[in-house]
Structure formats: structure tokens, C-alpha cells
A and B are shown apart, each in its own frame.
Chain A
Amino acid sequence: MSLRGTDQYSPPSGIAIFGRFRTPSGRFSDIALDAQRLAKTISQLPAEGSLDQLLSLAATAAAHRCPPKSRPIAIVGIGFGPPDTGWWKGDFDPSKHPRWPAKAPESQGGRFRIREDGGKLTGDNVHRAVRRLALRRALRKVFTAALRIGGEAALGPIGDVIAIVDTIRTIVELRKLAIEATAAREFVAKAPYSLDDLRVSAELESFPSHDAFVKDLASIAEWLLKRFGPAGDGYDYHHIVEQGGENSEKIPAEQLHNTDNIIRIPRLVHEAINSYMYNSYMYKKKDGTGMTYREWLPKQPYSVQRATGIEIMRDLGIIR
């Protein structure tokens, strides 16, 4: 197929191009490609561009829309019938979220499953997964805090004032989150990193001693700030081996607060890592005794805690 004249290309009305993705549950999800963006990309093809090239561009565009933890499997073109054919179901706007009907055989049969990699998250999918994990977790927090207050609001004029204050406060939180989400998005796009890439200093530097810490500085945060400056907008300093709790008493300060144990990462990614470090899974032994993961981890030696911290970052696709 020649693409001559594609600078005027626009998808004919009634036809949409979708990326088809396999979700973690094994279902299929079709997501429409941005027609305008696709048209713009296609217009950059040489006039003698082939159908293969067109499909390759569509595949690339579709890959960018791949939902986190899903896998791209096919490009699908669909022609729509008039609205009264009853093709679409549900209460959402199909022009914004077009998709196959829930029980369409094509979306259930698995016939288009063309990529099998044993279920492993690879490349871009890992990026999307951690980015989504980070953002959605943070959103839920803003969301829960806002609604807790809103839910208690009084009726009448006082209620109106509370609602306005709460709205403004929520918007401020969401805007802060937009900055953090950008930091996380940009960071994750370049992942995986080596651990050295994330260290605050290539040299091994440690806080001189616990006594010096108590005497000279109010907190480790102050030491970090003084020595390395602020972590930056949307960023945090992260201790691979947790600095608080039991560790602050059993592990020497120099071992916890050194450049081998402290890395600089986006706040949202930091919170996602911590959510796994503090997991509530409980393992009971045969004798009936047991403890949760979050109780168990700090009781382990430094080397086990460090290996765990690194393993979690590796599983999240942050480091190699």
C-alpha cells in the first residue's frame, strides 16, 4: 500500500484503530489510539512508505498506550455501526473509551495472543507498572484524606464553607502530586539503573559517629541536607536498610547513614518501595508461632535487610 499523500491523512470517520492488550487477569482490553497523533506520525513517513511501516508506527503508538502490567498483542481496526445497533454497552462515553463488548468472543478466546514470555514484566511494561503503582497509591491517600473530611461536613452555610475549604485543600494536594508524578515518570522512563547511579555520592561517606550526630546535628535529614543539599522537587533520600525502629538501636549509625545505604529517588517510588518493605503478610511456623513480614524484617541481620531492599527495587524494575 502506498502512503502517498499521507500529509492529509486522517482516519475516516466510523473507523478507529486500537491497541489490544492482555491484562494481568488474562482478559483483553482494546484502547483507541489517538487518531490525530497517529495521523501526524504517519504524515512523516516517506511518500513510498509501505503498509509494514504504517503498521509498525501504529504498533509503536499502541505500545505507548499499553496499560501498566498489560502486554501489547495486536493492532485492531474497527468500523463502527450506527449507535442504535446496540454495539456498545455501559454508561461511559464510547468515543472516549471505545472497547469490545464484554462478551465479544474475540476478546475472550485468546486467539490474538502472540507473545508469550512466561508472564514476566519486561521493558516498558515495568516502567508503566511502577509508575502506576506509585501514582495510584499516592492518589488514594489524597483521596482518602479529602473524603474523610468531606464526609463529616455539616449541612447548610457552614457545610458550604467546609466544602470550599476542602476543595481548595484537595486541589493543592493534587497539584503537589502532579509535580511528584512528573518526577516519578521521568525517573522511571530511564529505569533500570545501577545502584551506583542512584547513590548520593560515589565515595563512601558515613556519618562520623552516633555521638557526633547527637552533638552536631538535629537529625540525619539535616546531615543529608548539609552535605548533599535538598533531594529536589518530588524526590526523597531513601535508606535501603530502614533507619528507624529496631535498626536505630541495633545497627551502628555509621552503617545506616552512609552513602552506600542512601540513594536519591522520587518520593512516589520511595513510598511504593516502603509499602512492600512493611507488608503485613504473616508466616506461621508448624509450632504455631509466627510474625508478620514487617515485624520479621527488622530482626534480620543488616545483610539480609539490604539484600531484601535491593531485591524489592529490582522486582519493581528500578534497578538492574
Chain B
Amino acid sequence: MDELLQEDRIEQLMQELETFPDRATTASDLEAQQRLYLRMREIDKELTAIRSTQEAALNSLIEERPSADPASEAERIARLLRAFEFAAQLGRIAGDVICDSEYSDQWTQQRKRIVTVLDAVDPGRQHLIGLLDHPIPDVRASAGAYVMEVEPERALPVLRAVYESERGLNAGWTAFFPIQMYDAEQKKQKKP
């Protein structure tokens, strides 16, 4: 699925987009302005197409039906975990490359959907605990955010480590929110 991430292409498009404010300042005639506007539409079209392909790929994995055959079911769970990793990486591209919270929220919702499907077969989230060692920090942080709800003592050290090493990046922010909410709630409970 890595080829669907299209990170390099998205980065190119975003870099081009970054030149638009300056180009708009120097585009003095209507023709030049229209060219700029049309190019903007093309970029949007391409970004939308990339996003649709990614969404379709994720949906096909998430919507797969459970199987009575244990081997097929294990394969389906493996594919769901792969989908979770993919959605976490898409979150990183949304947060660190496109820098758009609407995009980020979309992939957060998809991860939530995957966790809901997984919860039906694994309410203890043991499969997600397996992702706490994943080499990509965004996957560790995303998995940690859900493991926090069932086994905070397992998730916290991972989240704190990701936050420390990835401050200011998507992975760091993904770790920041659960840590902060958890710590504040703990402090509140300790108060008499």
C-alpha cells in the first residue's frame, strides 16, 4: 500500500502551492491570474484524486466481512492492522505535508472505524498493543492513543517517548493529546 501514500507527489504539489501568494502578487493581467487560478483547480483535482484512491483502498480493507474459517479470519485481521498502519501514515502526510486538520481528522475517523471493527474480535486490543513497537512513530502514537483506553500503563511510556522525540511533528501531536488529558485527569483524582 506504500505506493498509495504518494508523499513525494503531494509534497511537490504543496511546494508549488506555496508559491501562489507571491505569484498572485506579480500576476498583473487577467490572463496570468486565470492561469494561476486554473492551475490551482488542477492541483486540487489531483489532490482529491489521490485522496479518493487512498480512501477507497482503506474502505475495501475495513469493510471486509468476518470469516468463520480461522485462517481467513487471521488474514482479515492482519489486513485490518495494515489498514491501521496505512491510516496512521496518511495522518502523518495530512499533518506534516499537507498541514490540513480536515485531512488529519478524516484519517483519525478511519482509524477509529478500524478499531471499532477490531474491537468486535479483540476487545482487549492486543493486536494494537503489537503495533506499539512499530518502526514508524506515527503508527506507535496512533496505536498508543487507543491502547491508552484499555491499558494506559502499556501505552504511556510509548506515547511519552514518541512525544519527546517527535515534538512539533504529527506523531508528537498524536501522542501529546492523550498524555495531556490522562495526566490532568490523574492529577485531579489524586487531589482530596
Contact = CB atoms under 8 A, between A and B. Distances in A.
Chain B interface mostly:
helix
Contact of B96 (A24, A177, A279): A24
A147 B168 contact: no
Interface in A290-320: 290, 293, 296, 300, 304, 308, 311, 315-317
B37 A121 contact: no
Given A25-B89, A279-B173, A170 B40 contact: yes
Contact of A92 (B12, B108, B150): B12
A133 interface: yes
Given A121-B168, A171-B27, A175-B25, A280 B14 contact: no
A14 B176 CA distance: 47
Given A146-B37, A315-B176, A126 B168 contact: yes
Interface residues of B, number: 59
Interface stretch (A34-42, A77-85, A135-143): A135-143
A315 B173 CA distance: 9
Contacts of A118: 164-165
Contacts of A316: 168
Interface stretch (B50-58, B59-67, B73-81, B177-185): B177-185
A224 interface: no
Contacts of B180: 293, 308, 311
- For B37, B112, B149, B174, the residue with the greatest tally of chain A CB atoms inside 10 Å of its CB is B37
Interface in A116-134: 118-121, 126, 129-130, 132-133
Contact of B37 (A130, A167, A317): A167
A296 B18 contact: no
9 contacts: A24-B169, A67-B11, A102-B8, A118-B164, A133-B99, A136-B17, A136-B18, A174-B24, A300-B184
Given A25-B92, A283-B177, 15 more contacts: A24-B170, A25-B89, A25-B136, A27-B8, A136-B18, A146-B37, A147-B44, A167-B34, A171-B36, A178-B24, A279-B101, A279-B177, A280-B108, A293-B180, A304-B184
A285 interface: yes
B99 A171 contact: no
A247 interface: no
A293 B177 contact: yes
Contact of B100 (A97, A140, A174): A140
Given A293-B177, A304-B184, A136 B99 contact: yes
